[in-house]
Amino acid sequence: MASNQDLAARRDAAVPRGVGSATAVYADRAENALLWDVEGRRYVDFATGIAVLNVGHRHPRVLAAVGRQLEQFSHTAFQVAPYESYVALAERLNRLAPFDEAAKTIFFTTGAEATENAIKVARAATKRSAVIAFVGGFHGRTLFASAMTGKVAPYKRAFGPMPGGVFHAPFPTPGGASVEDSLRALDLLFAADLDPSDVAAIIIEPIQGEGGFHVAPPELLRALRALCDQHGILLIADEIQTGFARTGKLLAIEHSGVQPDLITVAKALGGGFPLSGLIGRARIMDAVDPGGLGGTYGGSPIGCAAGLAVLDVIADEKLAARAEVIGARIQARLASFALDQTLAPIGPARGLGAMIGFDVLADRQAGGMDPARAKLICAKALERGLIVLTCGATGQAIRLLPPLTIEDEVLEEGLNLLEAALREAMSV
């Protein structure tokens, strides 16, 4: 079997450098919270394919559901010969959606497809075109999704002019913009550049993912809801990284009590199989004429079978409550790490449930961010057998996304490995 080094050389020759990989570890097999590379090395996985594997690698119930579907058929295209699993999954999500009225759901393949189609629906429903997003937000890598993403490098650099009609407001962060600053910026935007009657939608992540695991303050979400109601704007909650029990609720927006108009979902919904969706108020979702939405592989039979199984696992194994337990344990260990002078300095943990991030600091007293040390910590963790990822405006933060099905002893093992990496990074 090829080594990691051999595969890296083949990759360099065959795959463009525009697609980056956080590690040079080539996966061979995985089980729940563990992954083995092609050289037989074992890793604790605190990345989970970027919040995809909330039910762990290869959950038996997901594999069984997919196996049953494969025995029937693998593809027909829902637009050609529809199938019950698509309808059943839509019905299930419609019942679970945090709306006080009827909902409808459509499925796609990727998160970017979900966000782009959310804008298509919003524009059709409102007969308006402008979109407001937030600095630090991430909504995908396709062209319009990149325009909504609130970060230039690497998502917009060298790709020419972005699609027009997208505006950004500051997102509240510790030491940065406040909620008042964000709302004042929207007032100034409406006064100087954009009539609110031209705005189709405001899109926001309840917790910014790539932006650094910053939680949207409930007062901001409530103010946005009021603003949208005042001006006939639709509120879109991008739940692609936050959804499906990760934060202790099925959807993170539920923590605020705010009801959006549209919700984009992906990642953990498919349990490792490609699946995304758009859930919305039925009266809004029906604004698009037949044929205006869809995609060849959107809501594939395999993905829908996996999605139904994922929802069963979340309910039956009480994974939302489990996320709270995991998150509390992570928060406690990170608090102890922050006090340990022998470890690299870190800032306070932030997030909800088992979606936890923290900044790596340049100095324990003076503060300041240290992206280079954050990258080093991830490298040292990998050497010891733990997969973690960075995030944040400059890559200064480390995010922890263990499966919600992780065993207690494996969670502790992973946190011990992180502690050792922090200690090693302090001495470099």
Dig out the tokens for 236 from the structure.
């879109």
At residue 367, the pLDDT reads: 81
pLDDT of residue 224: 98
* Helices 218-231 and 179-192, packing angle to 10 deg: 20
Q: What is the pTM of this model?
A: 0.97
What is the distance, to the nearest Å, from the Cα of residue 345 to the centroid of all Cα atoms in its chain?
26
Asked whether the bond before 154 is cis by omega within 30 degrees of 0, the reply is yes
Q: In this predicted structure, what is the pLDDT of residue 26?
A: 97
Q: Which of 268, 235, 269 is nearest to 253 (CA)?
A: 235
- The residue assigned the tokens 């029906």 is 286
Residue-level pLDDT at 428: 72
- CATH 3.40.980.10 describes domain 61-316: no
The domains of the chain are located at 4-55+318-427, 61-316
Torsion of CA 388, 139, 311, 296, to 10 degrees: -120
Q: What is the pLDDT of residue 53?
A: 98
Q: Give the C-alpha distances (Å, rounded to integers) separating 313 from 35, 59, 73, 239.
A: 21, 9, 23, 19
* C-alpha separations of 201 from 141, 146, 222, 235, 379 in Å: 19, 16, 15, 6, 40
Longest Cα pair distance anywhere in the chain, in angstroms?
Answer: 63
Picking from 131, 327, 148, 184, the residue whose alpha carbon sits closest to that of residue 242 is: 327
Burial group, residue 416, by CB count within 10 angstroms (0-12, 13-18, 19+):
middle
Is-contact 121 260, C-beta < 8 A? no
Average pLDDT of adjacent 10-residue blocks, the chain of 428 residues: 93 95 96 98 98 98 98 98 98 98 98 98 98 97 96 91 96 95 98 97 97 97 98 98 98 98 98 98 98 97 98 98 98 98 96 98 89 97 98 96 98 98 91
- Strands (E) across 307-370 are located at 350-352, 355-359, 361-363, 367-369
DSSP E strand boundaries for 78-195: 103-108, 130-134, 166-169
Token code pair at residue 369: 């961010």
CB atoms within 10 A of CB 101: 10
Return the pLDDT at 185.
Answer: 98
How far, in whole angstroms, is CA 50 from its chain's centroid? 7
CA–CA dist 91, 239 (Å, integer): 18
Q: Give CA torsion, residues 355, 359, 360, 366, to 10 deg.
A: -150
State the architecture of 4-55+318-427 in CATH terms.
Answer: Alpha-Beta Complex (3.90)
C-beta separation of 206 from 215 below 8 A: yes
Return the DSSP state at 304.
H
Task: Supply 214's token pair.
Answer: 């910053």
* Residues paired with 118 in a beta bridge: none
Per the CB < 8 A criterion, the answer to whether 206 and 256 are in contact is: yes
Q: What's phi and psi for 182, nearest 5 deg? A: -60, -45
> Residue 57 contacts by C-beta under 8 Å, 6 or more apart in sequence?
30, 31, 32, 33, 34, 35, 45, 272, 403
Percent helix / strand / coil, the chain, rounded to 5? 40, 20, 40
pLDDT given for residue 240 in this prediction:
98
C-alpha torsion sign, points 237, 118, 130, 225: negative
- What is the pLDDT at residue 141? 96
Instruction: With residue 142 as reference, give the H or E element that holds it.
Output: none
